Amino acid sequence: MLRKLTRTDQLIHQFDTVLRTLVPHAAQPSRPSPADDIRDEPLDDAARHHAAGLMRINHTGEVCAQALYQGQGMTARLADTRAQMEQAAQEEIDHLAWCDARLVELDSRTSYLNPLFYAASFGMGAVAGAVGDHVSLGFVNATEEQVGKHLEAHLGKLPRGDNRSRAVLEQMREDEAHHARWALEAGGTPFPAPVKFGMALMSRVMTKSVYRL
């Protein structure tokens, strides 16, 4: 019989998750990278720099997603919702590790702003979870829709020949679409257009700052 986790156990787990999310190269994926069997065409310095900026944005987006799911999972009322949040968070860890590995291949780094975005996203997730599971799931749906739009745009902006980054983003796009559908099917409340517009504006602030920092 499994022992029920104490509050101390949960805090240790949360701290471990923070470290695995924010410390470069600490996240361990449960699935192989989609880029494992893909070969790039030659990239010049400008193309490599641009690809790294895009992948840094996507890495930070996964930092935010991980924090969001952790915050929501901590305050979710229903056990089923909490379990689904944890499963989605594991898939986001895969994305996090894949983007991190690709940044290494591109001779680049993760964003210096990740701790700030993690804290902000964790707080929003915890508040959404505390309001209620239906609102929390609606927030997941709206967030994943925004992430999907970014991924779609970045697939069009990647340098020609950057096949490895493309493979990673295509799998991420598929996973995020699944998360968005799941959130609504699980009872999420669709967010109105003005709220989604506000989320899109906040997302633009993140992308513009993280591309270089």
Residue with tokens 């270089």: 212
Neighbours of 189 (CB within 10 A): 17
Rounded mean pLDDT, 93-114: 90
pLDDT for 1 equals 44
CATH number, domain of 92, equals: 1.20.1260.10
Higher pLDDT, 25 or 110: 110
Rounded to the nearest angstrom, the gap between the alpha carbon of residue 68 and the centroid of all alpha carbons in its chain is: 9
pLDDT band at 2 (very low <50, low <70, confident <90, very high): very low
Of 136, 116, 119, nearest in space to 179 by CA = 136
Handedness of CA 115, 168, 56, 111 (dihedral sign): positive
Residue 200, in any domain of the structure: yes
pLDDT digits 0-9 by tens, 178-205? 888 877 777 777 776 666 666 677 777 7
Residue 97, in any domain of the structure: yes
pLDDT for 147 equals 81
Domain count of the fold of the chain: 1
pLDDT at 68 over 60: yes
Rounded mean pLDDT, 159-178: 90
Looking at 27-78, list the stretches that DSSP marks H as alpha helix, in order from N- to C-terminal side.
45-75
Rounded mean pLDDT, 149-177: 90
Q: Is 144 annotated as a binding residue?
A: yes
Percent of the chain with pLDDT over 90: 18
Q: Is 152 annotated as a binding residue?
A: no
**Residue 90, token pair as written in the block:** 């594991």
> Can you tell me the distance from the alpha carbon of 200 to that of 22, in angstroms, rounded to the nearest whole number?
24
Instruction: Please give the full DSSP string across 151-197, using - where no structure is assigned.
Output: HHHHHHHSPTT-HHHHHHHHHHHHHHHHHHHHHHHTTPPPPPHHHHH
Of 172, 169, 148, 142, nearest in space to 158 by CA = 169
Rounded mean pLDDT, 57-69: 84
pLDDT digits 0-9 by tens, 74-92? 666 656 666 666 666 777 7
Residue with tokens 């893909």: 38
Determine the structural domain holding residue 175 and report its residue range. Answer: 42-210
Residue 11, in any domain of the structure: no
pLDDT at 166 over 90: yes
Residue 188, in any domain of the structure: yes
> Can you tell me the distance from the alpha carbon of 51 to that of 58, in angstroms, rounded to the nearest whole number?
11
Of 185, 199, 96, 95, nearest in space to 145 by CA = 199
Q: What is the mean pLDDT of the chain?
A: 79
Q: Is 95 annotated as a binding residue?
A: yes
Rounded mean pLDDT, 35-57: 90
